[in-house]
Amino acid sequence: MSTDRIYNFNAGPAALPLSVLEEIRESFLNYDNSGMSVTEISHRSKWFDDIIEDAIARTKRLLDLDESYQVLFLQGGASLQFCMIPMNFLGNGDTADYVNTGTWSTKAIKEAQIQGKTIQVVASSEDKNFAYIPSDIQFTPNAVYTHITSNNTIKGTQWARFPDTGNVPLIADMSSDILSRSFDVKPFGLIYAGAQKNMGPAGVCLVIIRDDLLQRSPDTLPTMLNYQTFANKNSMFNTPPCFAVYTIQLVLKWLEETIGGLAQMEAINQQKARTLYDFFDASRFYSGTAEPDSRSIMNVTFRLPSEDLESTFVQEAYENGFSGLKGHRSVGGCRASIYNATPLQAVEDLVDFMQTFEQING
């Protein structure tokens, strides 16, 4: 570990690859010989056009998207998507399915309901405090879409395999596990992800939308709430969040050229997660909170024997160079978010620290 950088286990905004940060810093006063900072170039310039086109092309390659998908960059975070999805896709007489796996699913459901849309919550893991991912779900055959949260940042659970909804398109909030593993995109009609966990800084939301869903957006919507506005103008109907898109471009380049793609990234992420879960499973001091077959490889939630010990643990970990280990304020406990940019070494060093902490406090 560098002497002035710490290990960052923040849940989001989160760690970015050091090489990406260094490249941004290096060119920050003069981007690509433009004589301007990347924050000062016009979004209508050749420079920014190259940035956004490269970001789109890399996203398409990494996720193996065919021509029926468009890659968009919106603002407002995943939270604005909660409202835009039912607004764009559910007309009178339409219905959609939602699976409730925690805080973010619950918010997505609320934003459909507040608009008076007809939806069914077809499964929920609320009975066990969202510690698992439901299975054997009866989906509604004529639903316009089925909404899931692929990874639950707060509860530390993740869909290991996506559910089979037949011909009904899946819509997934992948904010906290986008680009962390390989998966088949074909069942998905829309994927969205706030950038600030696996892709870039806060302030941009990736939206991947398939033509059949895009065509449902009615002309009567406000312009900035209609997906077609962004699709028709390549995300530049108005000024996009240029710096955030630029950072995403560099992270995607790092994923492709340094890591080697999603299969390689997934192998590293699996190893990081296994290192922590194996340690918990062998420990009587630390315990994971998610059910084993629903464990997230991105957000590892765990408890210590008491809240006092948890508080001491988080504080001493911080003093030893491990930041962001406090659980979400709504659930307490501890959490290590180990997104793409968190190196295996950070996890191994954390386990070493945890062993020492247990020896002293156990």
Among 32, 37, 215, 345, binds its own copies (CB under 8 A): 37
Nearest alpha carbon to residue 216 among 121, 57, 96: 96
- Catalytic, 253? Answer no
**Minimum CB distance to its own copies, residue 202 (Å):** 4
Q: How far is CA 129 from the centre of its chain?
A: 21
DSSP 8-state class, residue 257? I
Q: For residue 229, what are its two tokens?
A: 């506005």
**CA gap 122, 11 in Å, rounded:** 28
| Using rule CB under 8 A, residue 16 touches its own copies | yes
Determine contact, residues 101/130, Cβ cutoff 8 Å: yes
**Closest to its own copies by CB, 123 or 341:** 341
DSSP 8-state class, residue 226? -
DSSP for 47-91, please give it: HHHHHHHHHHHHHHHHHT--TTEEEEEESSHHHHHHHHHHHHH--
246 membership: H or E segment, kind and range = helix 242-253
| Using rule CB under 8 A, residue 87 touches its own copies | yes
| Using rule CB under 8 A, residue 234 touches its own copies | no
| Using rule CB under 8 A, residue 233 touches its own copies | no
- Catalytic, 308? Answer no
**Closest to its own copies by CB, 15 or 168:** 15
Tell me the backbone φ, ψ of residue 302, rounded to 5 degrees. -155, 165
Which of the stretches 49-57, 293-301, 306-314, 318-326 binds its own copies when contact is defined by CB under 8 A? 318-326
- Catalytic, 159? Answer no
Give residue for tokens 């509860």: 155
Distances, alpha carbon 22 to alpha carbons 4, 27, 248, 304, in Å: 14, 9, 14, 37
Give every CB contact of residue 220 below 8 A, 6+ residues apart in sequence: none
| Using rule CB under 8 A, residue 243 touches its own copies | yes
**Closest to its own copies by CB, 37 or 215:** 37
Among 71, 72, 83, 268, binds its own copies (CB under 8 A): 83
**CA gap 25, 354 in Å, rounded:** 34
| Using rule CB under 8 A, residue 36 touches its own copies | yes
Residues 187-226 that bind its own copies (CB under 8 A): 194, 196, 200-204, 220-225
| Using rule CB under 8 A, residue 78 touches its own copies | yes
3-state secondary structure at position 132? coil
Print the binding letters for residues 323-342 with its own copies: x by CB under 8 A, - otherwise. xx----x-------------
3-state secondary structure at position 268? helix
Catalytic pick among 97, 173, 177, 326 = 173
| Using rule CB under 8 A, residue 305 touches its own copies | no
Catalytic pick among 104, 117, 272, 326 = 104
Active-site residues, by number, are 104, 173, 197
- Contact residues toward its own copies (CB under 8 A) are 4-6, 8, 10-16, 18, 21-22, 24-25, 28-30, 33-37, 39-44, 75-80, 82-83, 87, 107, 110-111, 114-115, 194, 196, 200-204, 220-225, 237-244, 247, 321, 323-324, 329
